[in-house]
Amino acid sequence: MITYYCVHCFQEVPEGAESCPHCGMTLDEPGGKKYEQKLLAALNHVIPERRIMAAQILGNLGSQAALGTFLEILNSGETNYYILRAILIASAKINHPERITILETAARSDLTMVARLAQDLLAAVRENRPIAEWDRSPC
């Protein structure tokens, strides 16, 4: 089951709702192009929590368009572990060869926790193990 989020306030919204019950904004079709573009824009949001949520949703949607932005963030010198973690887990869920490039890049990171997570995710992807379980591991 997919959980739907409002891309304006990032609260959970019921499936099929035309406007957000929390902030009142009109909702785009979840999974549609406009929805995906708003999530991609949110990856550069000033509030880290929004960026993390956007990355998680894009990963669950399997958004191949997100991979380029994920790699840019990774190469930008971002050091926020929680953002990097969300990006790596999301990348691992997106079935596209570029996810390997992203995970291999992160596996060489100077940040030990990031490098270790990337190595674990690479192993999981190569062994075709499900990635969803990583969401539940403690931050």
- Positions touching Zn ion (CB under 5 A) are 6, 8-9, 20, 22-23
Closer to Zn ion at the Cβ: 39 or 121? 39
C-alpha span between 31 and 88 (Å, rounded): 20
Q: How far is the CB of 45 from Zn ion (least distance, A)?
A: 14
Closer to Zn ion at the Cβ: 6 or 67? 6
Q: How far is the CB of 94 from Zn ion (least distance, A)?
A: 25
C-alpha span between 2 and 12 (Å, rounded): 11
Closer to Zn ion at the Cβ: 20 or 90? 20
Closer to Zn ion at the Cβ: 10 or 70? 10
C-alpha span between 71 and 98 (Å, rounded): 9
Closer to Zn ion at the Cβ: 58 or 118? 58
C-alpha span between 62 and 55 (Å, rounded): 10
H or E element: which one contains 81? helix 81-93
Q: How far is the CB of 8 from Zn ion (least distance, A)?
A: 4
- If 0-12 CB within 10 Å is exposed, 13-18 middle and 19+ buried, where does residue 107 land? middle
Residue 12: CB atoms within 10 A of its CB come to 11
Q: How far is the CB of 11 from Zn ion (least distance, A)?
A: 5
Q: Give the torsion sign (CA, 115, 126, 64, 12).
A: negative
Q: How far is the CB of 37 from Zn ion (least distance, A)?
A: 17
